Amino acid sequence: MPPPAVRPQEGRPFALVTSAVLTVTAGVQVALLVAFLWLVLYAGASAFDYREPTEAALYHLLNRGHLALQQGLWLPLIGFPLAAAVVGFLLPLRAAWPRVAATVLGVAATAWMVVWRSDALQWVLVPAGYVALCVLLLWTPGVTRWLRTRPRTQETPR
């Protein structure tokens, strides 16, 4: 009896995998960068003496950044990237909802960046472009076609 014919399996689209890798990588890196920056701000502010005229300027600069993060700025600066990393890990699932969740998260994060830095929008251009690239890769025709098809289950010979 000849061996059963093996059907080639369709792999995940390149655009989907690229978007997932970019999303997870950037999300983790940004969250860790903000956490490290917060640690540096806290350690730097506690190392300077605010009563010394030469150290007072650096103390107040570092303390202001630390207090801004402590009073709630950490939530979107760490929350959006970590949520993006989680959604990025879910993107290779053959379901439509991770793609929609990544899109909504990307739009929300970009809108928050625009509101937060409305006085200096040039700081928003690069992160918004990166988010737009990750989201646009998810809506390519290849990804849409892959999500609409279901994998065939292999039948066991009797």
Sign of the CA dihedral running 68, 69, 70, 72 = positive
Give the integer Cα–Cα distance in Å for 84 and 6. 37
Judged by phi (left if over 0) then psi (alpha if -120 to 50, else beta), residue 72 lies in: left
The predicted structure's pLDDT at residue 50? 84
DSSP 3-state of 95: coil
Give pTM, 2 decimals.
Answer: 0.82
pLDDT in tens, 72-99: 999 999 999 999 999 999 999 999 999 9
pLDDT in tens, 20-62: 999 999 999 999 999 999 999 999 888 988 888 888 888 989 9
The predicted structure's pLDDT at residue 40? 94
